[in-house]
């Protein structure tokens, strides 16, 4: 049985029923978070709560729970989350008013759903082989900094990767790298690391921030700036980061080898630091 939090109640996920008028269902009018849980401990909860607050404020949804209330929901789910690793998904929509109408309804209460799932980490042996990416145009909107549940372009990009038999699709806009369907991108050239700046064009990933911090603690500077598609294709190393993929080395892009075609030395140093931080081997 998977336990779910649903609008102030705790019940089996399979028994949660949602109104057809919920604005998440009708308009994708909501935001979400995904946090990792390692051996029952939530990874970087404060950073995720900060980002959830930013997403909610950006779309002007009042979740009806304060930060401590939201944290308590995450903590309750973490206590019983699958081990050794899990994720907790939380989404907040603008609720289910009596009528469908685009503008904000008066008096509707936000709907909050949260539940945990087992996380199958990308194992060390798989990491040592490395992963592949394909590229596609970034067809999303211009507020990718909001962690919106309106994910259709990301769904299509992820399906594109699945059909190509690769880990992710890297999205390109105006000759620049944005990010993958559900992860951020880093490139390494001549020992220098760069990643797209966290502006409106990408989600400011929590593991992106962790990777930057860990690299800097190792004395490896990370430039946050525009990254051109040509840099991506000429990179010695590419990594992608996310809560679920952690810090994954990319060895093929659109069928061509990245660098030597093996995970690179800069990735390895940051990855080792990541595993130490998480406290369990992948
Ligand atoms: N997605 N960029 C996009 C578009 C994402 O959807 C995600 C995460 C990231 C990485 O963010 P973080 O490091 O905070 O997980 C970047 C989650 C995992 C998801 O949608 O399931």
Across the chain, mean pLDDT equals: 97
Residues 110 and 147 in one domain: no
Neighbours of 34 (CB within 10 A): 18
User: Ligand 1, residues 205, 209, 211, 213: which to mutate, most atoms within 8 A of Cβ?
Assistant: 205
> Phi and psi of 101, rounded to 5°?
-160, 135
- Listed residues 87, 118, 149: the one ending a domain: 118
Percent of the chain surpassing pLDDT 70: 100
Per-residue confidence (pLDDT) for residue 108, from 0 to 100:
83
Q: Which secondary-structure segment (H or E) carries 206?
A: helix 206-217
Beta pairing, strands 237-242 & 184-189: antiparallel
Per-residue confidence (pLDDT) for residue 151, from 0 to 100:
98
- Degrees to nearest 5, angle at CA 202 with 266 and 182: 70
53-78: b or e for each residue (b if 16 or more CB lie within 10 Å)?
eebbeebebebebeeeebbebbebbb
Q: What is the 3-state secondary structure (H, E, C) of 252-266?
A: EECCEECCCCCCCHH
- The total domain count for the chain is 2
> Phi and psi of 15, rounded to 5°?
-100, 0
| Ligand 1 atom closest to the CA of 147, numbered from 1 | 6
Per-residue confidence (pLDDT) for residue 107, from 0 to 100:
87
Q: Is 183 in the pocket of ligand 1 (CB under 6 A)?
A: yes
Is the pLDDT at 47 greater than 90? The verdict is yes
Per-residue model confidence as pLDDT tens digits over 14-42: 999 999 999 999 999 999 999 999 999 99
| Residue 38 belongs to domain spanning | 3-118
pTM of the full structure: 0.97
CATH code at 38? 3.30.470.10
Residues 135 and 267 in one domain: yes
Per-residue model confidence as pLDDT tens digits over 58-114: 999 999 999 999 999 999 999 999 999 999 999 999 999 999 999 999 988 999 999
Per-residue model confidence as pLDDT tens digits over 195-248: 999 999 999 999 999 999 999 999 999 999 999 999 999 999 999 999 999 999
Residues 98 and 156 in one domain: no
Residues 222 and 249 in one domain: yes
Which one, of 99, 91, 113, lies nearest residue 30 by Cα? 91
CATH code at 261? 3.20.10.10
User: Ligand 1, residues 203, 206, 214: which to mutate, most atoms within 8 A of Cβ?
Assistant: 203
Is the pLDDT at 281 greater than 90? The verdict is no
Residues 61 and 141 in one domain: no
Q: What is the mean pLDDT of residues 147-175?
A: 98
């Amino acid at each position: 049985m998977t336990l779910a939090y649903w609008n102030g109640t705790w019940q089996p996920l399979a028994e949660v029923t949602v109104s057809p008028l919920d604005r998440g269902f009708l308009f994708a009018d909501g935001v979400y978070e995904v946090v990792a849980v390692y051996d029952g401990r939530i990874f970087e909860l404060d950073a995720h709560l900060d980002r959830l607050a930013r997403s909610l404020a950006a779309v002007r949804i009042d979740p009806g729970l304060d930060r401590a209330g939201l944290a308590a929901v995450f903590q309750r789910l973490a206590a019983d989350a699958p081990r050794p690793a899990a994720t907790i998904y939380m989404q907040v929509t603008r609720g289910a008013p009596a009528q469908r109408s685009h503008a904000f309804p008066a008096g509707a209460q936000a709907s909050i759903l949260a539940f945990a799932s087992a996380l199958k980490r990308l194992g060390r042996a798989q990491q040592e082989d490395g992963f592949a990416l394909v590229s596609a145009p970034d067809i999303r909107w211009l507020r990718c900094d909001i962690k919106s549940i309106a994910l259709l372009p990301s769904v299509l990009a992820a399906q594109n990767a699945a059909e190509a038999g690769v880990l992710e699709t890297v999205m390109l806009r105006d000759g620049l790298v944005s990010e993958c369907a559900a992860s951020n991108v880093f490139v390494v050239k001549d020992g220098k690391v760069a990643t797209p700046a966290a502006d409106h064009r990408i989600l400011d990933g929590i593991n992106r921030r962790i990777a930057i911090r860990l690299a800097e603690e190792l004395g490896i500077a990370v430039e946050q700036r525009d990254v051109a598609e040509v840099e991506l294709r000429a990179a010695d190393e590419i990594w992608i980061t996310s809560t679920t993929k952690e810090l994954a080395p990319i060895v093929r892009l659109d069928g061509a080898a990245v660098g030597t075609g093996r995970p690179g030395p800069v990735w390895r140093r940051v990855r080792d630091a990541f595993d130490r931080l998480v406290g369990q081997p992948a």
